[in-house]
Structure 1
Amino acid sequence: MKSPIYVKIVEDIRNKISSGELNPGDDLPSETTLCNEYDTSRMTVRKGLSILSNEGYIYSIPGKGYFVKKPDYNKYIFVYDEMNNLINNVDKIELLSVDIIFPDEELAGNLQISKNKKVIMIRRLFYTEEEPMAYDIKYLLYQRGVPIVENEIENATFPEMISNRTSLYDLNKELIIYAKVPEERTKKLLHIYDEIALFVVEQKLYDIEDRPIGLGITYFRGDYIKLHGVSK
């Protein structure tokens, strides 16, 4: 079965870029030239160019045309699941507390709220084979009339915790990963007796209008987590 013309356009230009025939910054033939070369419509040519643009091979400058894009060598894609990673899975969760608090200055800044706005704080411990592997804290904006059901949040992921507040399809998420020396309270919870840094993952959830609706901070023991990213 013969491939559609736009697929051939995509494959031909992609091959020219991969082989070095076209280099970053080089301009592509005009839409009119491509229409004539492939004996097809402008709509078909634009469909092929759109696919190449979405794949990161080219970019456009209005009024000037299409150009080969420089590869982004620093971009990686990885999957983060707070309950599962490459070397360990959470097999038990202990709900430590659910409290309604007033945020300090740092938390209020992260959630873009005033210090007199109430926040729900959820504290949990994650276990693997009876050993605590992570200390988890979640902060959610308090909403009057929205019940806090402890049985539902005890084993829930962060997005699941706010599923009754907003559609999961409308969520935007941000991750920050860093190392931090634990405080004494955290060391006791995680049975840490040496001076070692923890693997910390901060999750921030935004609604469809990019307003913060939750902040999560999970402190992992370094020997219980491993993440994997790929560059495409």
Structure 2
Amino acid sequence: MGSPVYMQIFEDIKKKINNTELKPGDIVPSEAALCRDYGASRMTVRKGLALLVNEGYIYSIPGKGNFVSKPESNKYTIYFDEMENPINRVDQTRLLEVTIIMPDEKLAGELCTTRNKNVIMIRRLFYTEGVPVAYDVKYLLYHKGMPIVEKEIEHATFTEMISNNMPIFALKKEIMIYAQIPDEEIKRHLNIYHNLSLLVVEQKLFDKEEKPMGLGITYFRGDYIRLQGTNA
């Protein structure tokens, strides 16, 4: 069975852009022309064009048409997973604590909640070949009757923790990366006895209405981790 027509439109135009038959700034064939060429409905054509827009190949100007985008050569995508990343793989986790807390002012602000609303705090350690490489803390908004299955939490990524309450594709994610000197508690958990910076990765997850659902902070030993991006 062949590909759906909208995918044929997507692939054909993408091929023309990649082989420079269509150059940045060139106008893409009109919807009417594509309907005629592919014997497709306007809805099918629009579906193929929408894929090209989402992939960054084209952009639309209302009343004028669709145009080939200029490649973003300085744009990189970072793939981040607490359990697996380009440098090391977490082969063991240890659940330190799962508890319900009242957030302080800073945490309440991050989660757009009040200080009298319950928040679930999850603390874990990640190991690589027996070495503790990361200290992980997650804060999830608590909902009455929300199940807390410690066995599942111990090995779950942040999105997996949230996706029990919402489809993963409906989640919006933000990430922030920075360096930090560890405090005494983190030094103790990561067996740090000398000056060593941490690579800190903060993740915030939002629902489809862009309301915060959780905050995750993972503190990686600087000598065991780094992130890699790609412009592919």
Q: In the alignment, which residue of structure 2 is the partner of 1:79?
A: 79
Q: What do you get for the CA RMSD once the two structures are aligned?
A: 3.2
Q: In the alignment, which residue of structure 2 is the partner of 1:188?
A: 188
User: Can you give the 5+ residue segments of structure 2 that lack an aligned partner in the other structure?
Assistant: none
TM-score normalized by the length of structure 1 = 0.80
Cα separation, 1, equivalents of 2:160 and 2:68:
41
More displaced, 213-222 or 169-178? 169-178
- Aligned-pair CA distance for 1:169: 4.1
For residues 152-202 of structure 1, give each alpha carbon's deviation from its aligned partner in whole angstroms, at most 9, with x where no partner exists: 322222223234433334332222222112112211211112322211111
- Aligned-pair CA distance for 1:103: 1.3
Q: Does 1:66 align with 2:50?
A: no
Which amino acid in the other structure matches residue 153 of structure 2? I
Cα separation, 2, equivalents of 1:209 and 1:97:
30
For residues 69-118 of structure 1, give each alpha carbon's deviation from its aligned partner in whole angstroms, at most 9, with x where no partner exists: 12122332343221122332222222222222221222111111012212
For residues 57-77 of structure 1, give each alpha carbon's deviation from its aligned partner in whole angstroms, at most 9, with x where no partner exists: 221111112222121223323
TM-score normalized by the length of structure 2 = 0.80
Cα separation, 2, equivalents of 1:228 and 1:13:
26
Q: Does 1:56 align with 2:51?
A: no
- Aligned-pair CA distance for 1:142: 1.8
Which amino acid in the other structure matches residue 146 of structure 1? M
Q: 1:138–1:217: 8 Å Cα contact kept in structure 2?
A: yes
Cα separation, 2, equivalents of 1:34 and 1:196:
59
Cα separation, 1, equivalents of 2:130 and 2:76:
33
Q: 1:108–1:114: 8 Å Cα contact kept in structure 2?
A: yes
Query: Radius of gyration: which is bigger?
Result: 1
Which ranges of 4 or more aligned residues in structure 1 deviate by more than 4 Å? 2-10, 17-23, 28-36, 38-42, 44-51
Q: In the alignment, which residue of structure 2 is the partner of 1:128?
A: 128
Q: In the alignment, which residue of structure 2 is the partner of 1:146?
A: 146
Cα separation, 2, equivalents of 1:4 and 1:148:
42
Change (3 A) 1:46 1:165: closer
